[in-house]
Structures are given as structure tokens and as C-alpha cells.
């Protein structure tokens, strides 16, 4: 039933706001000058900050443990990607200092672990991931950050998506609901399945993040992710992953990358 609710809410493009969420966001937007657009932080239609733990509700055998070499089942990979996956050697990755190849943005979010989300600035949302000790920075319009050299987490551009197709701004008094769109490019080549299934430097990762509220007060993130890569994929790879909000940082345990 929960998985069905996730799909329905994502397709609908709207998530209901709970009284708890409204209380968290009370007072936001104050301080902006008259006639001045609010910052992305002040204009946030949903509150993503806090600690979230992954819920492995599907693909258990590929997410909870590292699959065996050559396992590309259910992946839209071409012959070149199969060749790379068949040659995967974790010891070689370790020796080359590339033990984090499976922890880039296309792969790390699907690994079991926790997220700690906070605002680094009014225009940059930070996602810390304890699995592999990775940090993603999501840059909204107005951020002064540049893409720089390719990296495991790449460069992520973020946009608030509002009901009815609106983006970035909402009218005075409008209810707070919506989602977050993130497009990540400038990636260092890595693995999107930890057993050596590759993505290339030209890969593009698009994510939609929705906040789901239950009557019990529990909150969930549903992140629908689409990976596109002309070099290694025959079509888009699409998956939805879920996280549950924690009340505190219990279980937060950053661990370094491992090739195995």
C-alpha cells in the first residue's frame, strides 16, 4: 500500500503538507526586502532537512550486498557496459585509489545508509551520506558555485517544482506543497551498481524528491531517479528509492568508501 501511495503521489506531482511540517516552516520568508524574491531556502515548499534512513523495499539482493561480478540483470546496458562489468576487479580499484567508484551520485543514494540534509547557505542544500562519507551539494539559482573538475558527486542544479507546473516561486498565502528537481552532470566515471556496472563522463542524473506524510506523523522521502548515459545504456535507467525521517541522529555512522 505504501509503495502504491508513493507512485500515485509522484505522478500527481503534489504532496500534502502536515501540521508538523507547517510548524517547522513557520516564519520562513521573513526578512526578504519588499519586492525582493525570497531565497530558495525561504521559498522551500517542503522541509527536507534532518536525518533520513533508507528503506530497502525492493532490489534487496542488489542493494544490501554487492552483487557478483557480471550481474547486470534488469539493467538497460549495452555490450560495452557488459564488457566493463565482466572485467570488474575491486582489488584493482583499491590499488588505483578508485575505491569510491561505486559511491558517485548515480549509485550511492541506493546503497543502505542514512542521509543528513541541511542548508549550507540560502542557495545551496547539502546532503551528507554516511555510506562512503559522501557529500552532495544542490545548487539553486543564485548560487555562485561553478562546476569545476568532474567528481564523484558531479554538479547538481536544483529547482523547486510546484503544483500546476509552477517553478521556484509561489503566491502569497499559497499552501506549501511541491517537490524538488535535481539535475546532476559533470560526473567522474563510476559504477551505478556497485559490482562494476559503469556510467560514463557524459551521464546525466535527474531526480525528483517528494515528501510523503502519514497520519501517524511519520514522513518519508520518495526519490525518483533517472540515469541517462549514451555510452553505456540503451535507454534510461529509472528507479524510486525511499527514506524515512528520524527524530534524531541515532545510527548516523559515516564509513569510508570500500571497493568490496
E strand or H helix at 159, and its extent? strand 155-161
Q: How many CB atoms lie within 10 A of CB 56?
A: 14
pLDDT given for residue 32 in this prediction: 52
N-to-C CA span, the chain: 34
Q: How many CB atoms lie within 10 A of CB 30?
A: 8
Cell of 22: 507547517
101 conformational bin, left if phi > 0, alpha if psi -120 to 50, beta if neither? alpha
* Residue 112 located in a structural domain: yes
Strands 155-161, 134-139: pairing kind? parallel
The count of structural domains within the chain is 1
Exposure string of 163-184, with b = 16+ CB inside 10 Å and e = fewer, is: beeeebebeeeeebbbbbbbbb
* Residue 229 located in a structural domain: yes
* pLDDT tens, N- to C-terminus, the chain (260 residues): 444 444 434 434 444 444 333 333 444 444 455 668 899 999 999 999 999 999 998 888 899 999 999 999 999 999 999 999 999 999 999 999 999 999 999 999 999 999 999 999 999 999 999 999 999 999 999 898 888 999 999 999 999 999 876 676 544 444 458 999 999 999 999 999 999 999 999 999 999 999 999 999 999 999 999 999 999 999 999 999 999 999 999 999 999 999 88
pLDDT given for residue 33 in this prediction: 52
Cell of 221: 522521502
* Residue 238 located in a structural domain: yes
Give the chain's length.
260
pLDDT given for residue 55 in this prediction: 97
* Residue 86 located in a structural domain: yes
pLDDT given for residue 34 in this prediction: 62
* Residue 121 located in a structural domain: yes
pLDDT given for residue 26 in this prediction: 40
* Residue 39 located in a structural domain: no
Alpha-carbon distances of 73 from 70, 195, 236, rounded to whole Å: 9, 12, 15
Q: State the residue range of the domain holding 67.
A: 2-19+49-168+176-256
CA dihedral 171, 173, 176, 179 (to 10 degrees): -10
* Residue 37 located in a structural domain: no
* Residue 41 located in a structural domain: no
Specify the pTM: 0.83
pLDDT given for residue 60 in this prediction: 85
Amino acid at each position: 500500500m505504501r509503495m502504491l501511495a508513493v507512485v500515485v503521489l509522484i505522478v500527481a506531482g503534489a504532496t500534502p503538507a502536515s501540521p508538523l511540517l507547517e510548524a517547522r516552516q513557520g516564519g520562513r520568508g521573513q526578512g526578504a526586502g519588499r519586492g525582493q524574491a525570497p531565497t530558495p531556502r525561504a521559498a522551500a515548499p517542503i522541509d527536507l532537512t534532518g536525518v533520513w534512513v533508507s528503506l530497502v523495499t525492493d532490489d534487496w539482493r542488489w542493494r544490501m550486498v554487492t552483487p557478483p561480478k557480471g550481474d547486470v540483470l534488469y539493467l538497460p546496458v549495452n555490450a560495452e557496459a557488459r564488457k566493463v562489468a565482466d572485467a570488474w576487479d575491486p582489488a584493482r580499484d583499491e590499488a588505483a585509489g578508485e575505491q569510491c567508484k561505486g559511491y558517485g551520485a548515480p549509485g550511492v543514494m541506493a546503497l543502505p545508509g542514512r542521509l543528513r540534509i541541511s542548508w549550507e547557505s540560502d542557495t545551496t542544500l547539502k546532503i551528507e551520506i554516511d555510506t562512503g562519507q559522501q557529500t552532495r551539494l544542490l545548487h539553486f539559482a543564485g548560487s555562485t558555485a561553478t562546476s569545476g573538475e568532474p567528481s564523484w558527486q558531479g554538479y547538481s542544479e536544483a529547482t523547486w517544482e510546484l503544483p500546476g507546473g509552477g517553478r521556484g516561486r509561489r503566491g502569497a498565502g499559497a499552501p506549501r506543497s511541491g517537490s524538488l528537481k535535481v539535475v546532476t552532470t559533470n560526473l567522474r566515471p563510476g559504477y551505478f551498481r556497485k559490482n562494476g556496472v559503469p556510467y560514463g563522463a557524459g551521464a546525466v542524473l535527474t531526480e525528483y524528491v517528494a515528501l510523503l506524510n502519514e497520519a501517524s506523523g511519520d514522513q518519508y522521502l520518495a526519490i525518483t531517479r533517472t540515469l541517462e548515459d549514451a555510452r553505456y545504456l540503451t535507454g534510461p535507467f529509472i528507479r524510486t528509492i525511499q527514506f524515512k525521517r528520524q527524530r534524531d541522529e541515532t545510527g548516523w555512522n559515516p564509513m569510508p568508501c570500500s571497493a568490496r
